[in-house]
Amino acid sequence: MNSAVDYSGLEFLNKIKDGQLPHSNMANTTAMRLVEVAKGNVVYEVTPDERHLNTLGGVHGGLYATVMDTITGAAIHSMLDAGINFGTTDLNLKMLRALKPHHTYRGEGKIISIGRTLLTAEGRIVDENGKIYAYGSASCLIIK
């Protein structure tokens, strides 16, 4: 067993957090690391660097969106049984402050609603003092 479908979402995410399974390629690209997992809640750490800068030298909005999609999706995944897959149907994001390269931030995802086929989660990106840099939500559809 070493695939996402072999474990419940919570088991799978805990194996990633504990180093028993690798982080996704996207997590490597975005310099994200899963650090906390509980049913319905996740925390990733993200440290933007030069790879994430736009042409003006700021952290690209695409990184915010990727972090938000990851943290909300992982919160949803933590609620699913083995063999259940899902996909994001919408992603909403508000960027409040500029992320700084080489600073570590927390991406915190939390379940809002669990339906039979549609699950919704919220997320926020915060600094070490809890100051919010972005917040948002996503809905995911169960894929059978």
Residue pLDDT, tens place only, 121-143: 999 999 999 999 999 999 999 99
pLDDT at 8 over 70: yes
Structure tokens at 132: 């919010």
The residue ranges of every structural domain in the chain are: 4-143
Residue 3 has pLDDT above 70, yes or no: no
Mean pLDDT of 50-57: 93
Residue 128, helix vs strand vs coil: coil
Question: Any idea which architecture 4-143 has in CATH?
Answer: Roll (3.10)
Mean pLDDT of 47-66: 94
Judge if pTM exceeds 0.85. Answer: yes
pLDDT on residue 119: 97
Residue 2: pLDDT band (50, 70, 90) is low
Q: How far apart are CA 89 and CA 139, in angstroms?
A: 6
* Percent helix / strand / coil, the chain, rounded to 5: 25, 40, 35
Closest CA to 42 of 32, 29, 51: 32
Return the pLDDT at 28.
Answer: 83
Q: Tokens for 4?
A: 């996402």
Q: What are phi and psi of 11, to 5 degrees?
A: -60, -45
